[in-house]
Chain A
């Protein structure tokens, strides 16, 4: 249990912070302390860390057969799947949102950007877990390390990275940042309604074949 908690929660955070530390090395001197690149960098790191943790949502359950047990159990399949997704978000998305101020600080994000950034990551990472779960369930039978998961999931992440960075950018430049945040909320609502049902349908197709 301790090991799996480490892999699920701590590892993406460590990955995220280490990734951020590479950015100033890659950019010309002074560019990283400018602050204008901070929203984009933070969001890319959140996205990559979330991508890294996606495979874990269903792989273990698929390998040890508990997914099949869920499939033949009498209750609706969407309920346990939704529970798993909420758990995944609590274990990966929320810690990332809480750790993001550290990254933003070293990238010298202006002070106005912090609250919008945390809110956008809280909402956005929930969408990432939900949308990512669809691709994770599609590729679960291909085994671990399948190249298909990142290929198929990154286009679905596109709206979130657009509106997530827009939220922070709007806040920095003094515009109404609730607008892009509300758009993210819309995407989250849509994903909450559709993704658990889609995942349940995918498992019925591919496992109970």
Chain B
């Protein structure tokens, strides 16, 4: 059992669009219910139960959207680049489609992080937008995402576009550590990271717990949207295959 796990055969099998379609179809109700439950719990806990901040009052509560979306904006870039690399090496179609979905979702997460940051900046910094190191580098991250998205769609030959997008995503990974570390390297307006894996977090435990719930909820929501996007990609690219035609026929029968 363990040996077969490490031989990665299960991963190869999962990269078959048909199998992924059926497995993700079963996973979606679970992902949906758990992520909605976590997000509701986290929002309720964070917005109503957690104590207000000593200096920022209630305006700090946007952290419960801002931080998880920033997390996923950065992590999502790696998901996208790794999927692209897997596609280049093992030539699996599914990983390119994953990359394409992750690019769109990552770009939206980056936009959300920038947008909530701007809203938060108004009460705490006195302005919606500053050319601070972290803000600027997040904007660059958004441009990286948009570049990959444009590259994937720019070629008539879809395979060219996907490969080129994957290479661009991989080259762009140089910037991600810069963005992540920008708050420590440049002491501009944005505060340093509050959550740390290696040392004690600089946030009170009552505020931290709902934040962790929100982060987990966002990750599950991300997985959910990836599944939904990927299923759409699979149906679009595999529309000529027999199993998709069967699926459509069965759907039509059901709906009468």
Closest-by-CB residue of B relative to A206 is: B160
Q: How many chain A residues touch the partner (CB < 8 A)?
A: 27
Q: Contacts of A151 on B, CB cut-off 8 Å?
A: 143, 146-147, 150
Do B167 and A158 touch (CB < 8 A)? no
Do B147 and A155 touch (CB < 8 A)? yes
Per a CB cutoff under 8 Å, which of A131, A146, A158 touches B140?
Answer: A158
Do A206 and B164 touch (CB < 8 A)? yes
Do B160 and A141 touch (CB < 8 A)? yes
Per a CB cutoff under 8 Å, which of A148, A190, A194, A201 touches B151?
Answer: A148
Q: Contacts of A205 on B, CB cut-off 8 Å?
A: 160, 163-164, 167
Do B140 and A138 touch (CB < 8 A)? no
Shortest CB-to-CB span from B6 to chain A, Å, is: 29
Do B163 and A159 touch (CB < 8 A)? no
A90 contacts partner chain B, Cβ-Cβ < 8 Å: no
Please report the number of residue pairs spanning A and B whose Cβ atoms sit closer than 8 angstroms.
Answer: 67
Q: A138-B164, A158-B137, A158-B140 are in contact. Are A152 and B147 (CB under 8 A)?
A: yes
Q: Contacts of B140 on A, CB cut-off 8 Å?
A: 155, 158
Per a CB cutoff under 8 Å, which of A135, A158, A190, A202 touches B175?
Answer: A158
27 inter-chain pairs at a CB distance below 8 angstroms, sorted by A residue, are A131-B171, A134-B167, A138-B151, A139-B154, A142-B154, A146-B154, A147-B150, A148-B147, A148-B150, A151-B147, A152-B148, A152-B168, A155-B143, A155-B144, A155-B172, A155-B175, A158-B178, A159-B174, A162-B178, A187-B174, A190-B174, A194-B171, A201-B167, A202-B167, A205-B163, A206-B160, A209-B160
Enumerate chain B interface residues (CB-CB to A < 8 A): 137, 140-141, 143-144, 146-148, 150-151, 154-155, 160, 163-164, 167-168, 171-172, 174-175, 178
